[in-house]
């Protein structure tokens, strides 16, 4: 464990719960001087007390140790507010629709911040019947590659895992998809709204003039 509950966290949670040091001490069957020692960084609670402390504050042990309390706001979570966590050690991908405290290989993960696509991460989206054909202009080497492509709608996520030496492309069922995301193992998460003019079509692009117009729009967008 590379992290342990701090006195600052205990004090913040105690005050949030409107408990005095003496009241918290009584609940934990310790002295108020012990609580004071914790909060002034002169000591730490024994590991056997972590569960009772977390229970008093109404949080999990993981939240207590990390110092990040998660409020119950996930009931009405929307897929469009999805968060992605990627472990820098093993590359594990974790998806959440709301607040979460996530560890992997002993590392406290923070949600990836999606950026708009850029010159080094161009993406092209084409409608083919009932699917989007998504292609990212990117090398797929072992040391630098696109890890996944995902399509988000309000009630569904479609994620396609990619691998080095493969192709940076995916087929995603349209089904109301509004946003496409993809993750570069070096540069992080990128996002783009599905191009208007594709999402509104109900037939595939078989007309060559329409295809040319789409390609020109992509060039203007990405330079």
Q: Where are the domains of the chain?
A: 7-66, 79-109, 115-222
* Spacing of C-alpha 100 from chain mean position: 9
- Element (DSSP H or E) covering residue 61: helix 61-66
Q: Are 184 and 149 in contact (CB under 8 A)?
A: no
DSSP state of 194: P
Closest CA to 14 of 51, 66, 62, 58: 58
Res 7: pLDDT:
87
Predicted pLDDT of residue 48: 87
Task: Please report, in tens digits, the pLDDT of each residue of the chain (223 residues total).
Answer: 445 788 888 999 999 999 999 999 999 999 889 999 999 988 888 888 989 999 999 888 877 887 765 555 555 557 778 899 998 888 899 998 877 778 888 788 889 999 988 888 889 999 899 999 999 999 999 989 999 999 999 889 999 999 999 999 999 999 889 999 999 998 999 999 986 435 444 444 345 456 556 656 666 665 5
| pTM passes above 0.85 | no
Residue 182: per-residue pLDDT: 96
115-222 shares the fold of 7-66: no
pLDDT of the residue at 77: 57
| CATH domain 7-66 topology | 434 Repressor (Amino-terminal Domain) (1.10.260)
- Nearest to 123, CA basis, from 221, 22, 13: 221
Give the pLDDT of residue 14: 92
CA distance 124 to 156: 21
pLDDT of residue 208: 46
CB 149 within 8 A of CB 172: yes
Q: What is the C-alpha to C-alpha distance for residues 130 and 172, in angstroms, rounded to an integer?
A: 9
What's the pLDDT score for residue 219?
A: 60
How many angstroms separate the CA atoms of 175 and 173, rounded? Answer: 6
Burial class of residue 108 (count of CB atoms within 10 Å of its CB; 0-12, 13-18, 19+):
middle
- Tell me the CATH class for 115-222: mainly beta
């Amino acid at each position: 464990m590379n992290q342990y509950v701090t006195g600052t966290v205990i004090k913040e949670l105690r005050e949030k719960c409107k408990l005095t040091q003496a009241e918290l001490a009584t609940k934990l069957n310790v002295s108020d001087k012990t609580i004071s020692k914790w909060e002034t960084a002169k000591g730490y609670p024994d590991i056997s007390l972590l569960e009772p402390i977390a229970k008093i504050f109404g949080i999990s042990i993981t939240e207590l140790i990390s110092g990040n309390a998660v409020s119950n706001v996930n009931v009405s979570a929307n897929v469009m507010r999805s968060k992605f966590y990627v472990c820098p050690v093993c590359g594990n991908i974790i998806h959440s629709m709301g607040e979460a405290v996530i560890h992997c290989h002993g590392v406290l993960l923070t949600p990836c911040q999606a950026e708009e696509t850029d010159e080094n991460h161009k993406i092209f989206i084409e409608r083919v019947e009932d699917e989007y054909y998504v292609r990212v202009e990117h090398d797929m080497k072992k040391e630098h590659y696109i890890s996944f492509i995902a399509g988000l709608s309000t009630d569904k996520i479609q994620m396609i895992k990619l691998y080095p030496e493969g192709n940076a492309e995916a087929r995603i069922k349209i089904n109301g998809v509004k946003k496409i995301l993809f993750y570069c193992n070096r540069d992080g998460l990128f996002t783009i709204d599905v191009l208007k003019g594709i999402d509104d079509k109900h037939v595939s692009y078989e007309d060559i003039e329409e295809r040319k117009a789409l390609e020109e729009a992509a060039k203007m967008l990405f330079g």
